Copies of this chain bind each other. A is one copy, B any other.
Amino acid sequence: MRRWNGWGDDTIEFALGEDALGFLAQRIGSGTPFPDAAFDKACAQLRPSRLAPHRLIDTAPAVRLRNALGQSLPDWLRLRYGVIDTAPDGVAYPDSPEQVRELLDYAAEHHVALIPQGGGTSVAGHLTAPGGPRPVLAMNLTRLRNLLSLDTQSQLATFGAGVFGPDLEAQLRAHGYTLGHFPQSFEYSTLGGWVVTRSSGQQSLRYGRIEQMFRGGKVETPAGTLDIPTFPASAAGTDLREVVLGSEGRLGILTEATVRVTPLPEYESFHAVFFPSWDKAEQAVRAVVQAGLSLSMLRLSNPLETVTMLALAGHKTLIGALETWLRLRGCGEGKCMLMIGVSGRKAAAKAALKDALALTRARGGVHIGRHMGDKWKQNRFRNVYLRNAAWQHGYAIDTVETAVDWPRVAGMMQAVEAAATAALGQHGEKVHTYTHLSHLYAQGASVYTTFVYRLAGNFEQDLARWRTLKQAVSQAIVANGGTISHQHGVGSDHAPYLPAEKGELGLSAMQALFRHFDPQQIMNPGKLLPSEAVPS
């Protein structure tokens, strides 16, 4: 069963070994474990539902609590400490577009705020119920999960938008196809969630971002149904898919989505290459990505992330031997690890890999074969469980991500890490912070930074630490010309930083667009953009 106050399924544990704990203790001090709040006690905090009864709405506290929050650090703090100051008044699980429409009409009639959700994996506060007098209904869309049609000629598949990643891939695999969208949240996030938050998967280099995969669909909006047909391309005015992408529930409910699929790759492998320094590594990945080779993944860790991954890998003797060997090949202190993935027809994939390795070799890269790559693949959806393990030892893990053009990449990385260190320094704490480039483009890269720091064991204090940290790193992103999100979306937590990149005119244009579809402002108020005064 899904954990109610942590990541993923409660039968899956991903422990931190003694070596890893020793490493963390040395970096930022020992953590102090403390007990979590009980589920029943948390449920008991929910005030009575304010919703008018409806046959599709469940107002049981346990159901409301399980649909109340996402996976952001402040969401975790609320759940772990049992401070449930926000929750919907009820939850509906529609199983058809008609039921979605019925619930939209209900919300309009009763002045209810409506929060659409899929797997609830948001790390940006997309799910928080707004305060105020309006009742709040969470609409969980995960019953809309079927493969509705598959056009193998055009390589298009239409799904109910609430389908989870593994379910979607299993339904496609039965026909020999894949979508190829693998964000770290893959196991618990949904197609609709990916679309409306502009998600990006680990193998976007081959399969594209969700923007490129999303080819058409149906959206139930308060103002009516928006039906977007599929065309291979069009020059006919505004692309309505782009109105839906990144709309974060503000204009309606995506019920069906048609996506581009491809035959399952004949071959796939992942490879680790080490570089003597960040500069060499950055030059190498830029050369590789700008060569336009048919790779499926490039992921570059900075020196401290490289050290951390090796420390967390276990197998101390094996890793020791690897590091000695790398040192002899010129990759000592300051080395960086690049993960390269190739997928596709075997001959083409191997040819692309060969070309990529030649470009890395020319810049000091040392290819160590498939072992670490295979490990990475095994754990690609498991590493996120480390958040659970770290918490049990008294540590918080949080991340931020952005994307910038090449000349700003290294500076952004340094600025975000420095901002985190200074922010937690204000609380007398150290932070273990490290970065990787998670997605590489000819134009630049995403910059993905992780923060590990100690929990205080107290809700108020930990919320204050997080706020200082989040504000500092978000300001660093804006100051260095980055987007406030490359793959997590905006939600509540990033909304204050959106004006920096959209401008006042751009923001008000988004506002005008959403108001058109949702004149009563029923839909996910306060997310992405601030809500305006609601017409009564």
Residues of A within 8 A of B (CB): 151, 153-156, 197-200, 209, 211, 215, 221, 223-240, 242-243, 245-248, 260, 262, 286, 290-292, 294, 344-345, 348, 351, 355, 403-407, 439, 441-446, 481-490, 494, 498, 501-506, 508-510, 512-513, 515-517, 528-529
Contacts of A505 in B (CB 8 A): 221, 223-226, 517
The residue in chain B whose Cβ has the minimal distance to the Cβ of A512 is B516
How often does this chain occur in the complex, in copies? Answer: 2
Partner of A403, one of B225, B233, B444: B233
The residue in chain B whose Cβ has the minimal distance to the Cβ of A226 is B505
- Docked-complex contact B510 and A237, CB < 8 angstroms: yes
Q: A292-B344, A405-B151 are in contact. Are A444 and B232 (CB under 8 A)?
A: yes
Query: Please, how many angstroms separate the alpha-carbon atoms of A320 and B243 in the complex?
Result: 54
- Docked-complex contact A231 and B490, CB < 8 angstroms: no
9 A–B contacts from the bound complex (CB under 8 Å): A154-B443, A232-B444, A233-B483, A235-B246, A235-B488, A236-B246, A242-B242, A292-B294, A508-B516
Q: A151-B405, A512-B512 are in contact. Are A484 and B528 (CB under 8 A)?
A: no
Partner of A232, one of B155, B238, B443: B443
- Docked-complex contact A209 and B238, CB < 8 angstroms: no
Contacts of A345 in B (CB 8 A): 291
The residue in chain B whose Cβ has the minimal distance to the Cβ of A352 is B348
Q: A153-B286, A225-B505 are in contact. Are A197 and B510 (CB under 8 A)?
A: no
Q: A242-B242, A246-B236 are in contact. Are A444 and B231 (CB under 8 A)?
A: yes
Partner of A517, one of B153, B344, B405, B509: B509
Contacts of A215 in B (CB 8 A): 443
- Docked-complex contact B231 and A405, CB < 8 angstroms: yes
Contacts of A237 in B (CB 8 A): 246-248, 490, 498, 502, 510, 528-529
- Docked-complex contact A403 and B503, CB < 8 angstroms: no
Query: Please, how many angstroms separate the alpha-carbon atoms of A355 and B247 in the complex?
Result: 41
Query: Please, how many angstroms separate the alpha-carbon atoms of A321 and B517 in the complex?
Result: 63
